[in-house]
Amino acid sequence: MIGAILPWVIIGSSALLIMLFTAIKRDHIYTALLTISGLSIALITQLINVNTISYSNDLISINSTTSLLSALMILLALMLSLQLYPWLNKISDPKEEYYMLFLLACLGALVVVVSEHFASFFLGLEILTLSIVPMILYCDKDSGALEASIKYFVLSSIASAFILMGIGLIYFATGTLIFSEIPQQLAIGTATASDSELFFIVGSLMILLGISFKLSLAPCHLWVADIFEGAPLATTAVLATLAKAAVFTLFWRLLMISDWQLYPPLISVLSFVAILSMLAGNLLALLQSNILRLLAYSSIAHFGYLLLGPLAMTSAVSLPGGESLAAQASVFYLCAYMLTLLGIFILLIYLKNQHKLENFHLDSLKGLYWREPMSAFVMTILMLSLAGIPLTIGFFGKFYLVMAAVNSQLWWLLGVLVIASIIGLFYYLRIIMIMLEKVASKTDKQNRPLQPMYILLMSFIVLMVVGLGVLPNLLIVAIEAATIF
């Protein structure tokens, strides 16, 4: 067991070590180094674990799929932690707490990904939420961050309350909190009392409601833009990548393990949520003039696309092999989207730190090509990847997802996906056009040399995005080997 959860132990103990060191003496650079090295060691152990260790008990199940996704999470956290130091170095508040909260948020995400029991799921989710709230409010003295954190705190408490009520109802219907025991208990339950199925459906809908808040899926998406705008960039990145990826993975596993496909009402509600998210996200992003709000709305749309994966898996009419294809497609798309989005956030953090961006209005990106050619080039590639243009990883993610959806004959959803992607193309290309515009007055800025760390990170991300876009086989083979469903 200890081998399987070794990455957790490493991340948790680095958070504790930072706390102890901070109690003795505050030192920013050591804290940053400790965070980075802790995450690196955790990543290495997690990667070793992927195909070697599988462990499961009532609470957690560590198999090759969850290990692969955990490794993805740690990789995202590691890449983000490299950009924390230059940002935190500029603020006047104490900095060490941010690293502790960051590591604990990462740990919460890892717990959520592997959880197999409602109690571990809920505790992990709460670690994630409770560490993100102070991270939103970390340094900004302005009212934007305060508003964002209060909104997030209150709304996510309500979502958690819904999830708890749903868990209660499912426990009432089945008498178990373990995901894998739900179907058989339900089969016994329906034989004796007919309304246990009803309670299960209502409970699942409540959990769906809570989860669609956490993933900002369409009917519960109102908070997301304000929080993306108000929170510090690094926190937004944690919220948009780590937190959402963890909750999505959990949701997907819950749906598979507890056999949602047997209950048509749940599937139709889920399809409705997917359609609404794809359309609403893209339409809202269409005319946004703030890049963070634009990213927030585009993330709604992307999670709408991602829902096609679970829906394809639960489809009743899928061709043979459709289920595993859909699982692989979901994992691939998740990896592709997370890497691309994190790249954009790292880029924005860098530009903000170097004072290359006054605010996040799209106008301040004007002429970026002439001021900051490398960043603008990377940004272009990442935007093309989000839009799903060939030769990027985003294209293959979408291609894979469409293939899975065709295989499971989800024609309506597929139609909406195509329309939504075409709408989405407009605003991604608009950003590229704005960056290309020439601004005469601002060209005389002095050219500071780029940080080596930033060049390294950016080349890694471009290599991943383009490299895996050209040779997707490398990732597909790894995912095929790891995905078991």
Partner 1 sequence: MINLLFYLAATVALMAAILTVTRHNAVHALLYLIVTMLAISLIFFLFGAPFAAALQIIVYAGAIMVLFVFVTMMLHQGELSTRQEAQLYRPSQSLGAIVLSLILLLEVVYLLSVPERWLSSQQMTPISAKQIGITLYSSYILLVEIAALLLLTALIGAFHIARRHQEGAS
DSSP assignment letter at 448: P
Q: Could you write out the DSSP letters of every residue in 188-206?
A: HHHHH-TTHHHHHHHHHHH
Smallest distance, Å, CB 249 to partner 1? 17
Shortest separation between residue 401's beta carbon and partner 1, angstroms = 33
Q: Which of 123, 269, 374, 429 binds partner 1 (CB under 8 A)?
A: 123
150 lines the binding site for partner 1 (CB under 8 A):
no
Determine which residue in the list 50, 104, 275, 378 makes contact with partner 1, applying CB under 8 A.
Answer: 104
Out of 33, 52, 94, 459, which residue is the one contacting partner 1 (CB under 8 A)? 94
Residues in 416-435 that interact with partner 1 by CB under 8 A: none
Q: Residue 256's closest CA among 241, 243, 246, 266? A: 266
Q: How far is the CB of 130 from partner 1 (least distance, A)?
A: 5
Six-digit token string for 399: 């291609």
Nearer to partner 1, 91 or 474 (CB): 91
Residues of the chain by 3-state class (helix, strand, coil), percent to 5: 80, 0, 20
Decide if 278 contacts 258 (C-beta within 8 A). no
Q: Which stretch binds partner 1 (CB under 8 A): 54-62, 250-258, 294-302, 423-431?
A: 54-62
Interaction between residue 226 and partner 1 (CB under 8 A) = no
Which one of 24, 141, 143, 440 is in contact with partner 1 (CB under 8 A)?
Answer: 141
Q: Which of 46, 83, 120, 271 lies at the binding interface for partner 1 (CB under 8 A)?
A: 120
Residue 147's nearest CA partner among 236, 40, 261, 227 is: 227
Question: Residue 137 Cβ, how far from partner 1 at the closest point, in Å?
Answer: 6
Q: Which DSSP symbol is given to 289?
A: -
Q: Which is closer to partner 1, CB of 142 or CB of 358?
A: 142
Per-position x/- string for 61-80, each x denoting binding to partner 1 as judged by CB under 8 A, each - no binding: --------------------
CB atoms within 10 A of CB 262: 15
Q: Give the one residue of 70, 71, 77, 138 binding partner 1; rule: CB under 8 A.
A: 138
CA distance 482 to 485: 10
Shortest Å, Cβ 165 to partner 1: 14
Q: CA geometry: angle at 412 spanning 411 and 417, to 5°?
A: 95
Closer Cβ to partner 1, 153 or 377, answer by number:
153
Question: Cβ closer to partner 1: 130 or 466?
Answer: 130
Among 48, 59, 198, 423, which residue sits at the site for partner 1 (rule: CB under 8 A)? 59
**What's the CA gap between 437 and 209, in Å, rounded?**
43
Asked if 130 is part of the footprint of partner 1 (rule: CB under 8 A), the reply reads yes
Which of 58, 259 has the CB closer to partner 1? Answer: 58
Given the complex with partner 1, which of 62 and 69 has the nearer CB atom?
62
The DSSP code sequence of 297-362 is: HHHHHHHHHHTHHHHHHH-TTPPTTHHHHHHHHHHHHHHHHHHHHHHHHHHHHHHHHTT--SSSBG
Residue 387 and residue 366: Cα distance in Å, rounded? 20
Rounded Cα distance between 79 and 238, Å, is 11
What distance in Å separates the CA atoms of residue 346 and residue 454, rounded to the nearest whole number? Answer: 9
Question: How many residues line the site for partner 1 (CB under 8 A)?
Answer: 30
Q: Are 352 and 233 in contact (CB under 8 A)?
A: yes
Residue 131 lies near partner 1 (rule: CB under 8 A) = yes
Smallest gap, in angstroms, from Cβ of residue 105 to partner 1? 8
What is the contact surface with partner 1 in residues (CB under 8 A)?
Answer: 5, 12, 15, 19, 57-60, 93-94, 97, 100-101, 104, 107-108, 111, 119-120, 123-124, 126-127, 130-131, 133-134, 137-138, 141
